[in-house]
Amino acid sequence: MTRRTVALLVLSLAAAAVCVRLGVWQLSRLAERRARNAAVAARFDAPPVALDALPADTAARHYRRVRVAGRADYAREFVLANRSRDGSPGVHVVTPVRVTGRDTAVLVNRGWIYAPDGATVDLARWREGDSLLVDGYVELPSRRPGAAALEGARAVPAYRWLDPAAVARAVGYPVSSFYVVARPGPGEGAPPGDRPVRVEPPALDEGSHQSYAVQWFSFAAVAVVGGLAFARAQRRR
């Protein structure tokens, strides 16, 4: 066996080892994803709790079902711009809710409404009554740098993403560091035309980790088989 053949075999085995390691890593990512999905699903399936019963830890309260009851401050609500639904442009309507006994208002994402430009809407027709009772889940704001508010004068404030500090400055009183996404009611069909369409919980898919693992293991097999085939051909010569 020539040095060239030995070198190629070593290179093939090294490449196969790397591919196997990457495949195992993807399988470990898949296991982590499944464990996270199971934890989130358990939180979605749990009965809603009162605000005071939420865990203090931010990660522990994420996706927890909660019930919010209070007075809606429609005069200070705003929208999250460029939120699509079934391919149509629109916004999410976020309303501060003043809960009795709490100085901090709770931000409630009441749902999606159509907006041709993904930002400009008239919210007067979308009010649900002075008092709100919302069954939803806790969502955390995105941690993104830069200004969240869209530029230009607007009748309804519009934000690219939810920034509680910016919202608190705009509304003039403290707001929660999280927000509550109102969920559709059980067996709810088409929503009435006088309130936003409730936002569905995020899909708990497994991603592409399994297919990526199969690909890496395939690459490892190709490297080993190819190296052995080349060595066999060289030996015959």
Q: Percent of the chain scored above 90 by pLDDT?
A: 29
Output DSSP code: residue 197: B
Please say whether the dihedral angle defined by the alpha carbons of residues 169, 108, 114 and 43, taken in this order, is positive or negative.
Answer: positive
pLDDT of residue 111: 92
The DSSP 8-state label assigned to residue 52 in this structure reads G
- The closest alpha carbon to 196, from 103, 72, 53, belongs to 72
CA 90 to chain centre: 18
What are the distances in angstroms from CA 56 to CA 61, 136, 140? 7, 18, 13
Please write the tens of the pLDDT for every residue from 176-199. 989 999 987 665 555 666 789 888
Q: What is the mean pLDDT of the chain?
A: 85
> Is 118 strand, coil or helix?
coil
DSSP 57: S
pLDDT grade, residue 86 (50/70/90)? confident
CA 68 to chain centre: 21
Q: Pairing between strand 65-72 and 49-50?
A: parallel
Q: Please, is 172 exposed, middle or buried when counting C-beta atoms within 10 Å of its C-beta (0-12, 13-18, 19+)? A: exposed
Task: Give the domain ranges of the chain.
Answer: 3-40+207-236, 46-182
Q: What's the mean pLDDT in 207-224? A: 87
Q: 3-state DSSP call for residue 188?
A: coil
The burial of 138, by beta-carbon neighbours within 10 Å (0-12 exposed, 13-18 middle, 19 or more buried), is given as buried
- Tell me the C-alpha distance between 225 and 172, whole Å: 68
> Does residue 108 register a pLDDT over 80?
yes
**Paired tokens of 57:** 């830890």
Tell me the pLDDT tens digit for each residue of 94-103: 999 999 888 8
CA distances from 118 to 83, 90, 170 (A): 7, 5, 21
